[in-house]
Structure 1
């Protein structure tokens, strides 16, 4: 079970309550030393590889920008690449990192099962791997697995969406990438809340792979099949924003309540405009900062400085009530 981390950042992220699943102890985000303060590690120099999913997506761009900044603060060089959720491409990038004898790898994995062998390969080569945003299906291979608390985030998002629907109506779901554990966890979290409302009827579900264009295309098909629907739940903001485009084109945006997940700038703008009920902000900036800090500490001492390999950080709901506190990217002011 994950240890939840109270995410409090100097950059101004909304304070999150400390919670613990089946254990107790100090806050790992506080225990992990700042990358900027690890002068001994910085003196060593070398390169830390950052491998993400999609550099064209604002969420993963924030992840890599944060990683690069923190790595360079610590006195290392950073390389940044993306695997596009393709395990074969991920393997190639891991092979390149091994050939280049990088000091460590910050990885957003291309699938829970699909990434185990790649992480194992780097570990066997003596290169520690620190996962951020998504987990893999095995422990003891990566040095850390730091993710957002997707179940908690889906719960608070679904609760806000159900309230906007007055607990009744016909809705559809846009599902993320099936190889990413986060997609199923969010879907299950939505379902757990919605199942308590028998007057909410699910009319259909389509996979749109976290993508805005696919979200729009799939939403167009769902609208054609169910022209009377009045709700959309989406596994991330990009798919939700694609749905909003389709609904706007069909002149139905004022009749349909849309829920997003991630907390990107476009989604927050949609919340302010009233075309999205809410988005669930993932603390990717804090998670990535923690991953780099733990990598630097490990390179310095041989330990990450935290008790648990698996760590989760609670998400924050953004609605019209607090959208003005969004400082972006993916940071909400106190």
Structure 2
């Protein structure tokens, strides 16, 4: 098989809900995956395809998936979730093939985070032509008219808000002239929005280094190693994704320079939170993926009930900076920890 495929079947169990029930669902889903079987159906389940570009339980897409399943339970929806991802996060052709496949399977809803917002226009049109309601997540801006496609809703956040949060934080906590390095993902608008170079310059910061690390931890590590050798006077490194930020942290640690340089992340996934608690990562902006998933489930319920006109075209979660245990306790969804069998710090 040339693509990873996971089918997760879950059933509503009365009106009982809580974190303990969710953990039982996760365990049951793991057994279903291992056995390659489906749970027996009583009432007809709504078949929903969940199509992120990659998936790890503790990362953004895993936490969004948690929120989606929790939300479906909260809404009392009998459902079956089909989760499929391409081999790599940037395999655009494979994600298009996955879209074509799940449309052929007859799914009733598609919840999708595209591998490339602009590059998956054919996938969007394929879904529209099949008449399957599409919910886009990780983006809140509606498709421009030239895409020739539309989604039922766009659930996410503005990436520029994340970039602005870091820029505002630096302006409030660092002097003008602070030397800043920006590690972008790819040459796309998302990278530029998150990097917010113009805002840093406007705030009097000195952007001395920029590099594209393709959203990869190891490429960010290599870039930061070279940076620290060439410009050991750098004060701040901004990683435009969680994994790139953690690659930067590791490079600074291996160079013995964690006390000399501040590293900022993007997303505040569990690994970043652990690094903040450990005093390694300085801070990361946070957009609550659990809440996004719950909101998507609420919209699916509205659509099922014939109330599609009540679905918001765009939904934005607020962006906050996480830089301490206190901020974690105030802003981070507890299920981020409890779903991993851990307690909130």
Structure 1 distance, partners of 2:182, 2:157, is 21
> Which residue number in structure 1 is paired with residue 51 of structure 2?
51
Q: Which runs of 5+ in 1 are unaligned?
A: 1-9, 13-41
The answer to whether structure 1 residue 61 and structure 2 residue 62 are counterparts is yes
Secondary structure class of the residue paired with 1:222: helix
> Which residue number in structure 1 is paired with residue 194 of structure 2?
186
Q: CA 1:250–1:205 in 2, change beyond 3 Å: closer, same or farther?
A: same
1:329 aligned to which of 328, 332, 336: 336
> Which residue number in structure 1 is paired with residue 176 of structure 2?
167
Structure 1 distance, partners of 2:128, 2:103, is 10
Q: CA 1:133–1:11 in 2, change beyond 3 Å: closer, same or farther?
A: farther
The answer to whether structure 1 residue 310 and structure 2 residue 319 are counterparts is no
RMSD between aligned residues = 2.7
> Which residue number in structure 1 is paired with residue 295 of structure 2?
290
Give the TM-score, by structure 2 length. 0.76
Structure 2 distance, partners of 1:11, 1:329, is 14
Q: CA 1:53–1:317 in 2, change beyond 3 Å: closer, same or farther?
A: same
Cα shift at 1:300: 2.8
Q: CA 1:168–1:224 in 2, change beyond 3 Å: closer, same or farther?
A: same
Cα shift at 1:252: 0.7
Cα shift at 1:197: 3.4
Structure with bigger RCO (C-alpha 8 Å, 6+ apart): 1
Cα shift at 1:133: 0.6
> Would you say the 8 A contact 1:168–1:197 is kept in 2?
no
The answer to whether structure 1 residue 195 and structure 2 residue 201 are counterparts is yes
> Would you say the 8 A contact 2:236–2:261 is kept in 1?
yes
> Would you say the 8 A contact 1:148–1:283 is kept in 2?
no
1:216 aligned to which of 195, 203, 221: 221
Structure 2 distance, partners of 1:289, 1:157, is 26
**Count of aligned positions:** 289
Secondary structure class of the residue paired with 1:96: helix
